[in-house]
A and B are shown apart, each in its own frame.
Chain A
Amino acid sequence: MSGHVEITGRRAGTVDIIAVKGRLDAGSSEKAEERINQVLDAGGRSLLVNLCDLDYISSSGLRVLLAALKRLKKDGGTLRIACAQPQILEVFTMAGFHRIFSLFPDEAAALAGFTAGP
Chain B
Amino acid sequence: MADLTVRADLGALANIADFLAETLAGCGEDLVFAVQLAVDEACSNTILYGYGGREAGTITIACTADDDAVYVTITDDGVAFDPLTAPPPLLDVPAEERPIGGLGIHFIRTAMDSVTYAREGGKNVLSMEKRRPASP
Identify the A interface with B (CB < 8 A).
1, 3-4, 23, 25-27, 56, 58-60, 62-63, 66-67, 69-70, 73-74, 87, 90-91, 94-96, 99-101
Contact = CB atoms under 8 A, between A and B. Distances in A.
Interface stretch (B33-41, B61-69, B120-128): B33-41
A94 B17 contact: no
Given A25-B13, A58-B37, A91-B37, A63 B47 contact: no
Given A66-B95, A91-B107, A1 B17 contact: no
**B interface, by DSSP: helix, strand, loop or mixed?**
helix
Contacts of B37: 56, 58, 91
A26 B10 contact: yes
Residue among A4, A26, A101 with max Cβ neighbours from chain B (10 Å): A26
A62 B106 CA distance: 13
A66 B100 contact: yes
Contacts of B101: 59, 63
24 contacts: A1-B11, A3-B13, A25-B13, A25-B14, A25-B17, A27-B11, A27-B13, A27-B14, A56-B36, A56-B40, A58-B41, A59-B44, A59-B101, A59-B106, A59-B107, A63-B100, A63-B103, A69-B95, A87-B29, A90-B30, A95-B91, A95-B103, A99-B92, A101-B95
Nearest to A100: B95
Contacts of B92: 96, 99
B111 interface: yes
A26 B95 contact: no
A56 B33 CA distance: 8
Contacts of B48: 26
Contacts, number: 84
B86 to A, nearest CB: 12
Interface of B: 10-11, 13-14, 17, 29-30, 33, 36-37, 40-41, 44, 47-48, 89, 91-92, 94-96, 98, 100-101, 103-104, 106-107, 110-111
A73 to B, nearest CB: 6
Contact of B30 (A26, A69, A87): A87
Nearest to A88: B33
Contacts of B33: 56, 87, 90
B100 A94 contact: no
